[in-house]
């Protein structure tokens, strides 16, 4: 269970999506899982009181990599050396699809989660500010699942199914190419910090 002192008003989860994401031309692809994304996003999700974290890949061998990472930090040498990471990674679950993550949340809460996406580029949808998204998620309601895309971002098919699209994170100039783990940490801070 998440720490009530820092938890959002509703159950909020996040997912790191490796499929379907897009290539440079916007075509769907499946990206590879990286160790640093798995544990850094877990740490950020735990810090900001999220109820859980899913790593989405349809490739069984990639999910096995996540299982091995989790084993190291949950019960292996990593758990003994850095127990704080063990706590954070205890909330991480590899799944084959976004729909599987949603089904797990629905099984726990009795209703499907609201899908929330962040998008680095305008997507032709109504986009809400971080302030509006923060207020929305602070009110009681259905559980929520915040989706983060790897590669060149979430595929259009994922964005089309989202119920809430949050404005892009903007830097100070034209360069805008954050790592997904940095974008997740910034997003959690803007939505859930005290």
Regarding predicted confidence, which is higher, 79 or 110? Answer: 110
Place of tokens 């915040």: 146
pLDDT in the model for residue 1 = 40
pLDDT in the model for residue 2 = 42
pLDDT in the model for residue 194 = 86
What SS3 string covers 72-134? HHHCCHHHHHCHHHHHHHCCEEEECCHHHHHHHHHHHHCCCCEEEEECCCCCCCCCECHHHHH
Place of tokens 């060149």: 152
pLDDT in the model for residue 8 = 61
pLDDT in the model for residue 3 = 43
Q: Residue 175: is its pLDDT beyond 90?
A: no
What is the band of 176 on the pLDDT scale with cuts at 50, 70, 90? confident
Q: Compute the average pLDDT of residues 94-118.
A: 97
Q: Compute the average pLDDT of residues 126-141.
A: 94
Domains observed in the chain: 12-192 (3.40.1280.10)
pLDDT in the model for residue 161 = 94
Q: Residue 39: is its pLDDT beyond 80?
A: yes
């Amino acid at each position: 269970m998440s720490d009530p002192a820092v938890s959002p008003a509703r159950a909020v989860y996040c997912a790191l999506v490796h499929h379907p994401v897009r290539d440079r031309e916007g075509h769907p692809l499946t990206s590879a899982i990286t160790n640093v994304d798995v544990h850094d996003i877990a740490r950020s999700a735990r810090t900001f009181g999220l109820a859980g974290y899913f790593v989405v890949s349809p490739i069984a061998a990639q999910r096995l990599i996540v299982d091995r990472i989790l084993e190291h930090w949950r019960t292996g040498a990593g758990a003994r050396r850095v127990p704080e990471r063990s706590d954070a990674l205890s909330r991480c679950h590899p799944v084959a699809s976004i729909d599987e993550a949603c089904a797990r949340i629905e099984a726990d809460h009795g209703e499907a989660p609201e899908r929330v996406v962040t998008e680095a580029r305008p997507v032709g949808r109504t986009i809400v500010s971080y302030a509006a998204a923060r207020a929305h998620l602070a009110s009681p309601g259905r559980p929520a699942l915040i989706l983060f895309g790897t590669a060149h971002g979430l595929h259009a098919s994922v964005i089309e199914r989202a119920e809430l699209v949050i404005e892009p994170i903007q830097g100070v100039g034209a360069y805008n190419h954050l790592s997904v783990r940095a974008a997740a940490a910034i997003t959690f801070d803007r939505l859930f910090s005290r």
